[in-house]
Chains A and B, each alone.
Chain A
Amino acid sequence: MLYFKNKCMNCHICIEKCPRKALSLGRNGILIDQSACDLCGICTEECPGNALNMDCMEFTLEQVLVEVMNDQPFFKYGGGVTITGGEPLLQADFVIELFKGLKRKGIHTAVETSLFGSNEDLKKMLPYLDEIFCDLKLLSSEDHFNYTGVSNLIILENLEAILVSEEKTKVIVRTPLIPDHTANEENITRICSFITGIYPDVQYELLNYNPLASSKYHLIGREYCFEDNPKMYSVEEIEYFRSVAIKAGIKNMIED
């Protein structure tokens, strides 16, 4: 459940209508007791200003396909469907069925994954994909554990598996540049050496730091990793990081 304070009209209808008494009035507007909330959605329907919003919605396979096909006039010329995070591998069965359906309709498919999931599922998904975007944030297992809470062992195994598979040409490995975390010469060099060691022609992309992420942290009431949100990297800085990657063996650099 998300709460947009700037949309809240302070009518408190939501508090009144919530059957689980999960909402209350705090100093900064509505407080959501996420553990009491059962996501029934009544408050989001009643809230006049749409200040309360579900972060997610449940769809059946058919509903997703209907939604996708609304854009059919555009698919004739390009575009398609990308399943992205959360983590698609965590809902692998659904995602695989969806990709099958999309392929039957001739729609271009892509996935954005952290690769933190089952190798079996990943293998099942591959045949239905046209493009596979894989995140690789940190090569040091220790750093990875410290920042994300899990080791990157599974991720590296999965990456290796697809980079030796027949689908390796569809893979684009991406590293998001996060100041003080991923954006340093050593990390990028290690990542690039690792992936080119498996598949020398691998496609690689560096993503500029995305400062918009902080907004979402605030919406769900969580603390952001930076007190002072850094700026995006300049064209020159990005160029520097790219040169590091190229020096480490990248031949196919994706530029936007």
Chain B
Amino acid sequence: MELNLTNRVSTLKNKMLEEERYLSIEQAQIITQIYKENEEKSVALKRALSLKATLENLEIDIQNEELIVGNRTKGVRGGVVFPESGIGWIHKEIETIQNRPQDKFNVHPEDIHIFRKSIEPYWREISLEAAIKKRYGTEISEIEKVVKINQKDHAQGHICPNCEKWLKFGPSGILAEAKMKIKNASKEKKEFYESVIIVMEGVQTFMLRYRDLLYERSLAESDEALKSSMKKLAEICEKLSFSKPESFHEAVQSIWFLFVVLQMESNASSFSPGRMDQYLHQYYKNDMENGNLTKQEALEIIECVCIKFNQIVYMRNSHSAKFFAGFPIGFNIVIGGQDEKGNDATNELSYLFLTGQKHLLLPQPNLSVRLHNNTPGEFLKECVRVVALGNGMPQFFNDQSVMPALRELNIEENDVKDYAVVGCVEITTQGNNLGWSDAAMFNLNKVLELTLNHGKCLITGKQMAPDQGSLSEFETYEDLEKAFESNIKYFIGEMISSCEVVEKAHMDLLPSPFLSAVVDDCMEKGIDITCGGAKYNLSGIQMIQVANLADSLGAIKSLVFDRNKISRFDMLNALQNNYEGNELMRAIILNKSPKYGNDVKWIDEIGAKWAEIFKSELSNYKNYRGGKYHTGMYTVSAHVPMGENVGASPDGRYAMSPLADGGMSPVYGRDTSGPTAVLKSVARLDNNLTSNGGLLNMKFLPEFFSNESGIDKFSMFLRAFVDLEIPHIQFNVIRKEDLIAAKKDPENYRGLTVRVAGYTAYFTELADELQNEIIARTSYGDL
């Protein structure tokens, strides 16, 4: 049966995209007022009361076509000012945010005035941001060029709540649970349960407000079909306020309310719905069996909630907006994978989510697919067909790699099998984990730079690390390795102290009762999630970037120490001068030393070796909640700003230019041995290095996907990807602009191949007019 994109869904999509975005201070005003009225109360209670007041008073709106309602601002895609975590940047940028180049938000002029007069002054000294700055600001900024500590001015997020529990109990069930637990609780735990009671009551009111609004608007609606669907939805909202969902439609609405309230409480980048095709399947199946739902209706509901995932955005400062353009908020849905017995879990809903993605092509949800040895061939092909549409989704995760890595962290087997994804590519267990997956990004290349140059920054000359000599003085490659390792340990120590301060500040200032109520075992223990109430308490550190590191150390080892092609002194001198006047040396580095990503064992193993050293040193520490630190290899787009901090590097990279993208991907243009060699190289990185998530980006021209035989080849490629135990892969379809860039800048696109009637050539080696022809015929505009 052909499934269609309905008029209702297209209308909703268009309305959303047409609506102007505004900065919103409404919630900030409510929170500030509650804090002022309750000065004597604890932070936990103030937070709970603020959320309740928001749920009761925030202006709400609906569209009559909606099958799923709810938002945290009246308008769509509002930029919410959230004072408790930090608004220093808004204070600086509120006037310019409407004209900045990336991710503009309109601002009502009177809001600027209110913000300046009554919001900002109140929070200036007491926000999370202010507290961290006061407690440890100097130390954190001392190391910021090497280690970027995150979550200094916003809530952590990156959490998969227990959606199954929410569906089973709803706000009323959890309210009852809290009321029961509070009876025998100790004094401090009483406060936790009290907070949960306060927020759940607020949630019930919030749902009823949508019921009322739907009824009211339905009276004025002349279209009978819409009128009746609005009334039906009003009934659903009412039911969810005191009971649990039974139908598929009710369940999906219930899940959306959950995510709206989570964002209201935390304003965090990424809360993820996780395995929606699994926990919604029972509802879908029942409805289908009873004849209460058709596939087309189910798809429409799914598409309506997928549109909703685009209506809550995360407003970032102008610097960060440049690198996380399009205000991504990481509603990550993962489909496919295995059930608790290890059987394939793909079902009809998995396909419907793919169809939804195909119809909408919106940036959210961030759609992920779990692959394993028994993923059905047809499902795999359908995934590739969606990838071929060119917006990079779905991305693929590999059970064969991720599950062993999670086992190594002593995660219980049922949680291992049920893993999901948060944010972009971070791995989590579902419903019981404060993974703190973006604790920090550790720039290994900056540490190498400092090691080669007396601990001094090549860009500013500032002493940043202990002086252990320089490249000119290291007699052997092993001497260099020794100094490098010692510097890594030094910065890990510094990083851990900073991470602890940040976690402590979150405990003090951002207790989150609503979130805690839907993450096991907080309710059981009576402990807030920020204080370690969750079953699993991890912290993830990203290693930035192993590809550049392998290429750099490989060039030093091979060209300087083993083959004597370049002297130690000359190499250091070239780095200090950003290769100026050393073009021939740079060419030798680029062309005469192998690079990571070409299936050359020894160079790939350099990357793996240093990642292992880093991970093993890190495992000596425990985080502030008592959990483990572990590692990931992804930057999303931070390879650009992280690269700006690094001087010229021995891999031939110029000072301040981007590092390799992704996390496990080779450096741009250095993988010249084809896609199979890339997979072989990446496979040399052990699974356990990426238990927090890894990212492999590969680019292909659209013609590689243009027919079924291309789709088949990609499916086979993905099968091999599963066998090679690589944790993650995503495919970008190259656009015209990329080819234009490649023509101008061949060095960074050396691996780019084009196909013409069964023949493949390197794009950058083609003559001018041929490049133009390929550019002319590569177009994705018409999709």
Contacts and interface: CB of A to CB of B under 8 A. Distances in A.
A49 interface: yes
A77 B757 contact: no
Contacts of A45: 592
A199 interface: no
A193 interface: no
B759 A210 contact: yes
Nearest to B761: A212
A232 B757 CA distance: 10
Given A9-B584, A256-B707, A48 B592 contact: yes
A74 B709 contact: no
A218 interface: yes
Contacts of A231: 773
Interface in B22-44: none
A185 interface: no
Contacts of A218: 767
A45 B769 CA distance: 30
Contacts of B717: 74
Contacts of B759: 210, 212
Contacts of A232: 756-757
Interface string B739-768: 000000010000000101111010001110
Interface string B697-726: 000000000010100110111011001100
A167 B111 CA distance: 80
Interface in A74-132: 74, 76-79
A70 B767 contact: no
A49 B587 contact: yes
Interface string A197-212: 0000000000111111
* Residue with the highest number of chain A CB atoms closer than 10 Å, among B679, B707, B720, B724: B720
A49 B591 contact: yes
A241 interface: no
Contacts of B712: 78
B185 interface: no
B236 to A, nearest CB: 46
B676 interface: yes
Given A4-B765, A9-B583, A210 B713 contact: no
Contact of A48 (B588, B720, B754, B766): B588
A214 B583 contact: no
B677 interface: yes
A218 B715 CA distance: 37
Nearest to B675: A74
B773 A79 contact: no
Interface in A188-229: 207-212, 214-215, 218, 229
A35 interface: no
Contacts of A78: 712-713, 716
B584 A74 contact: no
A256 B592 contact: no
Interface of B is mostly: helix
A45 B319 CA distance: 44
B750 to A, nearest CB: 10
B770 A48 contact: no
Contacts of A4: 765
A50 interface: yes
B756 A208 contact: yes
B45 to A, nearest CB: 58
B211 interface: no
Given A48-B584, A73-B724, A214-B767, A79 B716 contact: yes
B265 interface: no
A49 B767 CA distance: 18
A75 B719 CA distance: 10
B653 interface: no
Interface string B663-680: 000000000000011011
Contacts of A212: 754, 756, 759, 761, 766, 770
B599 interface: yes
Given A48-B591, A78-B716, A231-B773, A256 B757 contact: yes
A208 B777 CA distance: 15
B591 A50 contact: yes
Given A48-B592, A210-B759, A212-B756, A73 B723 contact: yes
A215 B756 contact: no
B746 A6 contact: yes
Contacts of A71: 676
A57 interface: no
B767 A215 contact: yes
B756 A73 contact: no
Contacts of A6: 746
Contacts of A50: 591
Interface in A45-78: 45, 48-50, 70-71, 73-74, 76-78
Contacts of B715: 77
A36 interface: no
Given A6-B746, A76-B720, A215-B765, A11 B584 contact: yes
B79 to A, nearest CB: 46
Contacts of A74: 676, 716-717, 720
Contacts of A70: 599, 676-677, 680
A241 to B, nearest CB: 13
Contacts of B679: 73
A75 to B, nearest CB: 9
Instruction: Name the residue among B677, B707, B715, B765 with the largest chain A CB count within 10 angstroms.
Output: B765
A86 to B, nearest CB: 15
Nearest to A229: B769
A49 B652 CA distance: 13
A256 B709 contact: yes
Given A9-B584, A9-B587, A211 B676 contact: no
A10 B121 CA distance: 64
Contacts of A214: 767, 770
A229 B773 CA distance: 11
A69 B719 CA distance: 17
Contacts of A207: 757-758
B757 A208 contact: yes
Interface string B591-613: 11000000100000000000000
Contacts of B676: 70-71, 73-74
A210 B759 CA distance: 8
Contacts of B587: 9, 48-49
A78 B757 CA distance: 20
Which 5 residue pairs are nearest across A and B when measured between Cβ atoms?
A48-B587, A77-B716, A208-B757, A50-B591, A77-B719
Given A73-B720, A209-B757, A218-B767, 13 more contacts: A9-B583, A9-B587, A48-B584, A48-B591, A71-B676, A73-B724, A76-B723, A78-B716, A79-B713, A212-B766, A215-B766, A231-B773, A256-B758
8 contacts: A6-B746, A70-B676, A73-B676, A77-B716, A78-B716, A211-B756, A211-B773, A229-B770
